[in-house]
Amino acid sequence: MTDYYIDRDTGTDGGSDGLSWANADATLEYSLDNRGTGGGHRHFFQAGTTDDTTTAQRDPTCKGTYGNPTLIYGVKDGTSAVPPVVGDFAVRGTDTLPVFGCITTAGVDIQMNGYYIAHGINFTAVDTVFASVSVDANTRFVGCEINATYFPMNKVNVYCEAEDCEINLSFMKSDGNNSFATFTKCTITTTHASLVIQPSYDMEFYGCDFSGCTATVLMQAGSLSGRIKMFACKLKASWSNGARNTRYGSHSMVACSSATAAKAVGTSYQDFLSGTIYGEVEDAPADYRTGGADDGGTGVYALAMTPFVDVTQESGAALVSPPLNVWVAGGSQTLTIYIANDSGADFNEDDVSVRWLTPDPGDHANHDYITSDNTAGSLAHLFPSTTALTDDAVSTWNGSAANGQKLAITVTPGFTGWVQAIVEYRKRYAASPKILYVDPRIIVT
pLDDT, tens digit only, all 445 positions of the chain = 899 999 999 999 998 999 999 999 999 999 999 998 888 899 999 978 888 888 888 889 899 888 899 999 999 999 999 999 999 999 999 999 999 988 876 777 888 888 899 999 999 988 888 876 666 678 899 999 999 888 876 666 678 899 999 999 988 876 666 678 889 999 999 998 888 776 566 788 888 888 888 877 777 665 555 677 887 788 776 654 444 444 456 677 776 766 544 343 333 334 677 777 788 888 888 999 999 988 776 688 899 999 988 888 887 788 999 889 999 998 999 999 999 999 888 999 889 999 888 888 887 778 777 776 544 455 666 777 888 999 999 999 999 999 999 999 988 888 888 999 999 999 999 999 999 999 999 999 9
SS3 state of residue 30:
helix
* Cis? peptide before 440, omega within 30° of 0: no
* Cα 170 to Cα 85: distance, rounded to the nearest angstrom: 36
Instruction: Give the pLDDT score at 266.
Output: 38
Task: Flag whether the pTM goes above 0.85.
Answer: no
Q: How many residues does the structure list for the chain?
A: 445
Query: What is the rounded distance in angstroms from the CA atom of residue 159 to the CA atom of residue 139?
Result: 6
CB atoms within 10 A of CB 428: 16
Buried-exposed string 247-268: b where 16+ CB fall within 10 A, e elsewhere: bbbbbbbbbbbbeeeebebbeb
Q: What angle do CA 187, 89, 123 make, to 5 degrees?
A: 45
Q: How far apart are the C-alpha atoms of 93 and 122, rounded to whole Å?
A: 11
CA-to-CA separations, 119 to 281, 425, 443, in angstroms, rounded: 38, 47, 51
How many other C-beta atoms can be found within 10 angstroms of the C-beta atom of residue 377? 11
Output b/e per residue, 129-149; b: 16+ Cβ within 10 A: bbbbbbeebbbbbbbbbbbbb
Nearest of 154, 232, 235, 227 to residue 190 by alpha carbon: 235
Amino acid at 258: S
Q: List helix spans (H) across 270-319.
A: none
Cα radius of gyration (the chain) = 27
